[in-house]
Amino acid sequence: MAKQTSGRSSTHKHKKQFGQNFLNNGRIIDQIVAAIRPQKNDHMVEIGPGEAALTRPLIDRVKTLDIIEIDNDLIAPLKIQFASKPAFNLHHTDALKFDYATLLSNSKNESEATQSLRIVGNLPYNISSPLMFHLLTYAECIQDMHFMLQKEVVDRITAQPGIKAYGRLSVMLQYACQTESLFTVGPENFTPPPKVDSAIVRLIPHASKPFVAENEKAFKDIVRQSFSQKRKTLRNNLKGWLSVEQIEQCGIDPSIRAETIPVEGFVKLANLHFQCNQPSP
């Protein structure tokens, strides 16, 4: 087990309800920071700083570092360490409920108010998917995201059609973002060590989506329904949503499974479903 990067032993009791596994390997932290490439004018947001392993190397390299932390016991230590830093802004709140757009709209700096956010974090495994879906609702405000996640989740995010890991999470995130798996991090680099490997993923929201759904809700619904029973064919999963003829109209074989369909195919299905359910003029 590597030593704490802070140079002192931790007195914080790690809490299972928050999924806390804190990075403790300086080499890995340097690798993550190198991948993020922080710039001096960046408006960075760190979700779940824990014992500040990433906060320390970021705080002096960026113009603004907004920190989102829910754990009451970590608030005071974070203030003690960083309150004197010009970039430091602490938000004691739930990242799943936070309105990230306010970080820009409430900025005192006019240029920063039009700037996009760069979001980083070692995300708790138990909230990683819902948190990413929440962040996608603010995609227009976000330049990029770098997250430490369970490797299995990163594999699902970046999976291509035809691969077992490809599913709803793959489609939804690839629809909204460019996705890239950067590198794997073993359990020995955390305190306490998790039972699985982790990985770093880079998500860059599309400035202009390559395939555009006419209605976001219809797209989400079609994707969810298509993967509702992964072993069943599209014909069966979309029964009552689209007919066999309508699926074929989209250039898709109704007898295949959802895991073989690219993002563009789901957009076509969703758009046709939306068009067919519009009220007559």
Mind listing the pLDDT tens digit for each residue in 207-234?
A: 999 999 999 999 999 999 999 998 999 9
Q: Please say if the pLDDT value at position 2 is more than 50.
A: no
Lookup: tokens for 266: 């789901």
CATH 1.10.10.410 fits 216-276, yes or no: no
Mind listing the pLDDT tens digit for each residue in 132-188?
A: 999 999 999 999 999 999 999 999 999 999 999 999 999 999 999 999 999 999 999
Q: What is the pTM (predicted TM-score) of this model?
A: 0.89
Q: How far apart are the first and last CA of the chain?
A: 67
CATH 2.60.120.560 fits 16-205, yes or no: no
Q: Please say if the pLDDT value at position 272 is more than 50.
A: yes
Q: Please say if the pLDDT value at position 189 is more than 70.
A: yes
Domain positions in the chain are: 16-205, 216-276
DSSP result, 181-243: EEEEE-GGGEESPPSS-EEEEEEEE-SS-SS--S-HHHHHHHHHHHTTTTTSBHHHHTTTTS-
